[in-house]
Amino acid sequence: MIGQFVKSDYCMNHCRLCCRFSQPQSVWSPALLDSEIRELTCQGVPPSAITADKKIRLIPLGEDRQDLPLHVGAIFACPFLGKDDNKCKIYPRRPLECQLYPFLINSRDKKVYLSADPGCPYVKESLGGEEFKKYSQGLYQLLSRTDFLKAVKDNPQIVQVYEDALDLFELKHAA
Ligand code: SF4
């Protein structure tokens, strides 16, 4: 399990938008490794909860959005986000993409990069700082391991195109 970069307290006090999305389907909804789909299915998650492109199917939030910033429009949420406590119900087994965020596996010009989401307020604040450098370098080393590179290669659904992402390191053998 990859250690969380953004502290939960920061998310709860400054943003609260993780695990929530402005569209029902987009590059931002979490994509799943094949092994994660098998694991969720074994745990009783119905196939309908996973989209044909191997992503978690988001649900509309409706009226349950009182705690969100006022500027936020229509909202869809991951079905594993707890309504009352804002916590991930599958946190110890959350998907690789969720473990990585606000870092991303990004496809650009036929290359694969470890990138970061500049829309995350914590990324904006910490960019260029020692903590950011140290964490991103550690993540790069982890993702450069043979087993991670194989997982990325075998699961092309987790390599997505994030146009505005900040590319940090090329994952040379993942393309
Ligand atoms: S699986 Fe958990 S961490 Fe990932 S989007 Fe859903 S609630 Fe958030």
Q: Is residue 158 part of a domain?
A: yes
Determine which of 10-19, 100-109, 147-156, 159-168 has the lowest per-residue pLDDT on average: 10-19
Indicate if the pLDDT at residue 36 is higher than 90: yes
**Closest ligand 1 atom to Cα of 78:** 6
Structural domain harbouring 157: 98-169
Instruction: Report how far Cα 97 is from the mean position of its chain's Cα atoms.
Output: 4
Q: Is residue 17 part of a domain?
A: no
- Our answer on whether the CB atom of 152 is closer than 6 Å to any ligand 1 atom is no
- Our answer on whether the CB atom of 19 is closer than 6 Å to any ligand 1 atom is yes
Using CA positions, which residue lies closest to atom 4 of ligand 1? Answer: 98
- Our answer on whether the CB atom of 30 is closer than 6 Å to any ligand 1 atom is yes
Indicate if the pLDDT at residue 106 is higher than 70: yes
Q: Is residue 147 part of a domain?
A: yes
- Our answer on whether the CB atom of 96 is closer than 6 Å to any ligand 1 atom is no
Q: Is residue 163 part of a domain?
A: yes
Q: Is residue 127 part of a domain?
A: yes
The number of folded domains in the chain is: 1
Q: Is residue 29 part of a domain?
A: no
- Which tokens hold the place of 166? 């900040």
Q: Edge-to-edge strand order for the sheet containing 103-108?
A: 103-108, 111-116, 166-170
The pTM (predicted TM-score) of the whole model is 0.91
